[in-house]
Amino acid sequence: MTTIERPQFKVIGTRPVRPDGVEKVTGRALYGADVHPPGLIYGKVLRSPHAHARIVRIDTSEAERMPGVFAVVTHADLPAVSEGLQDLGETAVNVRELAENILAGEKVLYVGHAVAAVAAKSPHIAEEALEKIKVEYEPLPPVLDVLEAMRDDAPLLDENRRTKSLVGEPESDRPSNVAAYNRFESGDVEAAFATADVVVEREFRTKMVHQGYIEPQNATAVWNQDDTVTIWTSTQGAFTVRAQVAQLLRLPVSRVRVVPMEIGGGFGGKIPVYLEPVAALLSRKAGGRPVKMTMSRKEVFEATGPTSGTWIRVKAGATKDGRLVAVEAKLCYEAGAFPGSPVNAGAMCMLAPYDVENFRIETYDVVVNKPKVAAYRAPGAPAAAFAMESVVDELCRALNIDPLQFRLRNSSREGTKMVTGNPFPRIGHEECVRAALESDHYRSPIEGPYRGRGVASGFWFNGGFQSTVMVSVNPDGTVNLIEGNTDIGGTRASLAMQLAETLGIPYEDVKPTVVDTDSIGHNDVTGGSRTTFATGLAVYEAGMEVRREMMARAAKTWGVSVDEVEYVDGSVRQKSDPSKVLTFKEIARNQARTGGPITGKASLVARGVGPAFSTQIVDLEVDPDTGKVTILRYTVVQDAGRAIHPSYVEGQMQGGVVQGIGWALNEEYYYDEEGRLLNASFLDYRMPTALDVPPIETVIVEVPNPGHPYGVRGVGGVSIVPPLAAIANAIYDATGVRFTELPLSPRRIVEALHGLRDE
Amino acid sequence: MTTIERPQFKVIGTRPVRPDGVEKVTGRALYGADVHPPGLIYGKVLRSPHAHARIVRIDTSEAERMPGVFAVVTHADLPAVSEGLQDLGETAVNVRELAENILAGEKVLYVGHAVAAVAAKSPHIAEEALEKIKVEYEPLPPVLDVLEAMRDDAPLLDENRRTKSLVGEPESDRPSNVAAYNRFESGDVEAAFATADVVVEREFRTKMVHQGYIEPQNATAVWNQDDTVTIWTSTQGAFTVRAQVAQLLRLPVSRVRVVPMEIGGGFGGKIPVYLEPVAALLSRKAGGRPVKMTMSRKEVFEATGPTSGTWIRVKAGATKDGRLVAVEAKLCYEAGAFPGSPVNAGAMCMLAPYDVENFRIETYDVVVNKPKVAAYRAPGAPAAAFAMESVVDELCRALNIDPLQFRLRNSSREGTKMVTGNPFPRIGHEECVRAALESDHYRSPIEGPYRGRGVASGFWFNGGFQSTVMVSVNPDGTVNLIEGNTDIGGTRASLAMQLAETLGIPYEDVKPTVVDTDSIGHNDVTGGSRTTFATGLAVYEAGMEVRREMMARAAKTWGVSVDEVEYVDGSVRQKSDPSKVLTFKEIARNQARTGGPITGKASLVARGVGPAFSTQIVDLEVDPDTGKVTILRYTVVQDAGRAIHPSYVEGQMQGGVVQGIGWALNEEYYYDEEGRLLNASFLDYRMPTALDVPPIETVIVEVPNPGHPYGVRGVGGVSIVPPLAAIANAIYDATGVRFTELPLSPRRIVEALHGLRDE
């Protein structure tokens, strides 16, 4: 671990057992599938077989008459639709598009698009009933590729869509699949290119990939007779589910209670709603019976949000002395059926490692006949970094400069302007590159035919957003921590540790609990690498309130002014006589007699977000006969700001790398020409297994975030950003072939090495 | 309704639908019996057939070997026992006695005393297994009556028990069934009696009676492998259950999560634990399987806590002009098998309606071979009031003074000293008596043979204690109210109404939720008439925090100082320009952009408790042939301080009266000489039904409690205090016979009227 400064923490930096560990390994933890209210019935979704078609007619009458069927719903049953979409008012999501995606209206826009849903007394009857629903489609030509979709003559997903310019240019009167255009620029790009000694320009392509969480989407809902709705679901954000369901069902949010169950992976993909509003609607129509819905793996692949396929062109120039002087880029991202690709995040991340004054990046958010994309771990950044870091690698080779030294020379640092024009706060990219340079891995040679080494850097903003926590001191001196963030990657532990540190008590004395949306103030999603940072800030503030109250109680007990006491190491003592001490447990035990329950609470929008960088090194070997790539050694260096629980930080670093390896080498949404996904199973959608990757070596860099009392930045996102480029760079090193299209599957490599296809 | 002063409330005083109403009438509300975790097994308790016996030996081996049996536990399995009781430290309960009552140790002390428990895969197997447990008893003579138990030659429940004097007298070296002696005195009683023109002295007896809640005790518990325990139970106080279970199981309280289910009645009887620790122990021994236990009605009667049987002597003297000058009383209360009768509460309540300077009250807390008593609605007060108010009635008759005028003349008021010596705050006894005098009921004549009218007053302290609530403002301007008090008598509504009033928003916009012990700070029991008052105070404080935050957000939005804005009627406006207004909903909608979630929280020990008085009038008719008493008309006048939800206040007033009528006329624990309860069913234990009582007329008096922002006092307790005496006084009025022993059953009345027995 490379640590810039480290105060004497007692809890932070240790590796205790997670509070939810025993429940999970003994099978007691309750996931979405484990909810079975009395009288439960089962919902299933009828999905479009067409990638693009007009819905002429839906006849549900036969299904409705089937014995054992309680309810059938379609788009028109959504209250947001039946009550007129135009009145919905301000919301973070486009409700019309959300409603269209939940249950298709006039058109289906991808294979797997939900068209109707049935609730019946068994899943089997529900499936049979789906077959009785008659849908008359008028098929339309689909468009499946981002560049195809941008053509003037492309089939249009929405005749009314006009390209929205985010830089204020006048709206075209021509309909388009390009939902949004944006531009980031600085300096004089053309003049700067003129000063460059080397210029590299390349085009890159990546395919849609899925987060690949193990647990499929699920929802159990009950609509009570007083129009209150309870939903149990595996989600990254119970309050987000609540807001979206309330919008669609046109209920006040207080009428919707969302109970976040344990979650079997999300990575961004469990933020949007799919089944939740449908299950609620079915329950209402079924007389209030609870309705359970669970997706099959095929449905997860076809109908939930993967991340964008992309086309990216990058042109970059550098001088002989290794200065990056100009970058020009065009990023075109597939949004899927509805707008909202992470293309602007990609644009904002790709240059973040570099202090480059002259750039122009154009972005295009493009709809295609594929599922609407969702967030996926540092959304938008990996594809953009794949392009940028590949071009940088080529520049380094052209200039014969060590690629890490090049990154060090051009590294962004505190004060460097981001592409948005705002200056970076204290960041740790240089420290990451230095740690990579000094690593055993980078100092060890790599030798042998078809073996190569690649490096790349990556960036993620990390998130702030809203958090609320409550802290309650028990009479025995243990503490309950009440929070509303789904624990995906160990946040129960990382939050409990921060509270223990703040209060100066043992970690084991803190019991964290994740509660439902009725039982705590607002919390934004567990996502964007925000929770340990932002909810951690709330934990710190609530803990400080407890400390102040503890001091007040001790002062009251002694009959002195609160100014005369101080809180040191989990005890309150008198400043004038440090032998006069009341411990946390003593004050806790007496709380009923000194003023009642001692509690703390904090609600905030987290300021002081600390961005994250990661620099990675990969050694690999290419089998020239089969095209198989074997990862020989992998090191991930990452600035955590402060690693609260190093094991979980390492786990996040390793997990992101493994997902990046899968994306680089094997994963892709593989469509036929009519827009049917051909590999919608874990057998065919090839994710890395434990046999495919070596142990991932981790180097935690700690450049504390000055915006957080313990220096936390957030660690979940950035590690997935560099692997795509690092692996492509290593394959170039191993083979001399510059690959620009993912995945780097055996077929593509064999074809390229044997000249069967141009790369 | 008699209202002393009434500000212009918008929500308080209205009668909205209760938030939990729909769930309850549609059968969706979850009670203790509705919890069925996967893998559930069932526990049953083996109970003593003897009222008093030494346990020589327990052989559980055969039961343990039975197929389908997972666990058998006895007293020795309680961790508090096996780890040595002496180390348990400070607690509100006597852990040794609690452990002895949960599972008997050396001795059984009442019929129904738990001796062992079994968990098996079905309730039937568990019951069969109970029969296989061999217990060898050495029977001992039981003592069943309080006066018998106080005799020097009485059988001793505990050879080591010495009478504890609460007035500092030296401890006797003689063992005794009198657990505690206390004395309250003031003035010169003998001298005062010498000035009296009339002195009345009487002895009274009341029997043990049960609260008669519909839902039997139940508990479902699971002991996880990390030694955390979850318990679902119907309880008046989840935090009390947590504390007691943690003590018995020797776990930190944070390891015990208690989930309070809906409750089918409690009245004080659902404060102690019975099944909860046993279910947890069985779960641990059964490898962590969840264990469910539910009592039969017989078990509820035999093994949970009724209230004390009593013997009371009262001597009171008054002057011709109707001044009460002296009172002397001796109160002996049965505690059941372990100490803890409410005798001191009885002593403190009986004189509360009167401003009397000279008194001496002696109290005796006495153990007998019957179940340990529990709280029952204004515990201790009804029996003492029965005695005192009967004697006052006799004084009034002797002096020929109207009994309400006598009470008015002698009424306590603000500043009158209580028996403890502390002065009363603002109280409303005079107002209650005046309202009774002015009532249509009292001004209507009662005529006819064997018809009579009686009146009586009663007092209850009301409770304060600890409460914690949290308030969260939703983006749509609705508000979540998170609390930890079981809703027995409508506290979801009464708390939500206070929050709505505080915030100036509609009641329907507040959604209250009762959460478990992991999800909110400490809350004491729903009991002692404390919740609407004390938790209401917390609600008010949390609401005021929200108001302050709302003002800060509005000021920030306008760019003015917070001093320049004010909160009026659910909006914030600028003082200098009242046309500049931001509504609650507008500020709520923008909260994410103005600083994050708006929340409030309060934790407190409630100060400013407002005591309650009730004065009641009853007309009745006695059938001289059968002894049956028919209640003709009943009016309850009660000072609520402020009736938040008048319907629920009236319901509490009526409910207390009905329970008092049952206690007065029919209810009693009927034992044979060997201590077997002969009427342990609702068929034989005769509670009033709807056919037995007329509509109870209610007069709510509102003398606002200055210790509460809305004047709340608390209403659950006091209405049960006067009925016993009011009815006895009315029977005297109807028959000329002064009854001093309850219940006033047909047999007792017939025997008295026909001279078959002395009364």
pLDDT at A723: 98
| Residue A195 near chain B (CB below 8 Å) | no
With CB atoms and an 8 Å threshold, state whether A90 touches B589.
yes
Which of the residues B470, B503, B593 would you substitute to probe the A interface, choosing the one with the greatest number of A C-beta atoms within 10 Å? B470
With CB atoms and an 8 Å threshold, state whether B468 touches A597.
yes
Report the distance separating Cα B109 and Cα B112, nearest Å: 9
Q: Return the bridge partners of A423, or none.
A: A417
pLDDT tens digit sequence for A381-424: 999 999 999 999 999 999 999 999 999 999 999 999 999 999 99
Mean pLDDT by 10 residues, chain B (759 residues): 64 96 91 92 98 98 98 95 66 82 97 98 98 98 98 96 93 93 97 98 98 97 95 97 94 95 96 98 97 98 98 98 98 98 98 98 98 98 98 98 98 96 97 98 96 98 96 96 95 98 97 97 94 98 98 97 96 96 97 96 96 98 96 98 97 98 98 97 94 95 97 96 98 97 96 75
Contacts of B598 in chain A (CB under 8 A): 521, 603
pLDDT at A88: 55
Contacts of A34 in chain B (CB under 8 A): 38
With CB atoms and an 8 Å threshold, state whether B518 touches A480.
yes
Nearest CA to CA, how far is B396 from chain A (Å)?
A: 44
pLDDT at A268: 96
Contacts of B473 in chain A (CB under 8 A): 521
pLDDT at B348: 97
pLDDT tens digit sequence for B546-558: 999 999 999 999 9
Nearest CA to CA, how far is B66 from chain A (Å)?
A: 27
pLDDT at A4: 45
pLDDT tens digit sequence for A269-284: 999 999 999 999 999 9
Q: Return the bridge partners of B359, or none.
A: B186, B327
Could you say which DSSP state residue B27 is in? T
Give me the helix-helix angle, A723-735 and A746-753, nearest 10°. Answer: 30
Nearest CA to CA, how far is B253 from chain A (Å)?
A: 7
| Residue A598 near chain B (CB below 8 Å) | yes
Nearest CA to CA, how far is B465 from chain A (Å)?
A: 8
Q: Which of A79-83, A227-231, A469-473, B720-724 has the lowest mean pLDDT?
A: A79-83
Could you say which DSSP state residue A626 is in? T
| Residue A224 near chain B (CB below 8 Å) | yes
Enumerate residues 460 to 519 of chain B having a beta carbon within 8 A of any beta carbon in chain A: 466-468, 470, 472-476, 478-480, 482, 509, 511, 513, 515, 517-519
Enumerate residues 81 to 100 of chain A having a beta carbon within 8 A of any beta carbon in chain B: 90
pLDDT tens digit sequence for A233-280: 999 999 999 999 999 999 999 999 999 999 999 999 999 999 999 999
With CB atoms and an 8 Å threshold, state whether A603 touches B605.
no
Burial B724-750 (b: 16+ CB within 10 A, else e): bbbbbbbbbbbbebbbbbbbbbbebbb
- Looking at chain A, the whole-number percentage of residues with pLDDT higher than 90 is 94
- Number of CB pairs, chain A paired with chain B, less than 8 A apart: 167
A331 phi, psi to nearest 5 deg:
-120, 125
The answer to whether residues A429 and A354 touch, using CB atoms and an 8 Å cutoff, is no
With CB atoms and an 8 Å threshold, state whether B479 touches A254.
yes
| Residue B603 near chain A (CB below 8 Å) | yes
Nearest CA to CA, how far is B646 from chain A (Å)?
A: 23
| Residue A40 near chain B (CB below 8 Å) | no
Once rounded to an integer, what is the mean pLDDT over residues A337-365? 98
pLDDT at B464: 94
User: What SS3 state is found at A71?
Assistant: strand
From the list A478, A521, A605, the residue facing B599 with the nearest CB is A521
pLDDT tens digit sequence for A44-57: 999 999 999 999 99
pLDDT tens digit sequence for A435-451: 999 999 999 999 999 99
With CB atoms and an 8 Å threshold, state whether A476 touches B513.
no
Reported as type and span, the H/E element at residue A493 is helix A491-503
Q: Which residue on chain A is closest to B34 by alpha carbon?
A: A38
Contacts of B520 in chain A (CB under 8 A): 470, 472, 482, 519
Burial A274-286 (b: 16+ CB within 10 A, else e): bbbbbbbbbbbbb
CB atoms within 10 A of CB A628: 14
With CB atoms and an 8 Å threshold, state whether B243 touches A475.
yes
Once rounded to an integer, what is the mean pLDDT over residues A5-25? 89
Nearest CA to CA, how far is B480 from chain A (Å)?
A: 6
CA-nearest of B656, B647, B658 to B700 is: B647
Q: Return the bridge partners of B312, or none.
A: B204, B331
With CB atoms and an 8 Å threshold, state whether B224 touches A518.
no
Residue A90, pLDDT above cutoff 60: no
| Residue A252 near chain B (CB below 8 Å) | yes
With CB atoms and an 8 Å threshold, state whether A597 touches B603.
yes
Q: What is the DSSP string of B362-391?
A: EEEEEE-SSPPP---SSTTHHHHHHHHHHH
Residue A91, pLDDT above cutoff 60: no
Nearest CA to CA, how far is A121 from chain B (Å)?
A: 19
pLDDT tens digit sequence for A71-84: 999 999 999 888 87
How far is CA A178 from its chain centroid?
A: 24
| Residue B577 near chain A (CB below 8 Å) | no
From the list A478, A596, A605, the residue facing B253 with the nearest CB is A478
Dihedral (C-alpha) A379, A385, A387, A390: value to the nearest 10 degrees?
-150
With CB atoms and an 8 Å threshold, state whether A604 touches B595.
yes
Contacts of A474 in chain B (CB under 8 A): 252-254, 522
Band (pLDDT 50/70/90 cuts) for residue A171 is: confident
CA-nearest of B447, B526, B425 to B485 is: B526
With CB atoms and an 8 Å threshold, state whether A224 touches B28.
yes
CA atoms within 13 A on the CB side of A62: 10
Give me the helix-helix angle, B381-399 and B343-350, nearest 10°. Answer: 30
Q: Which residue on chain B is closest to A511 by alpha carbon?
A: B254
User: What SS3 state is found at A179?
Assistant: strand
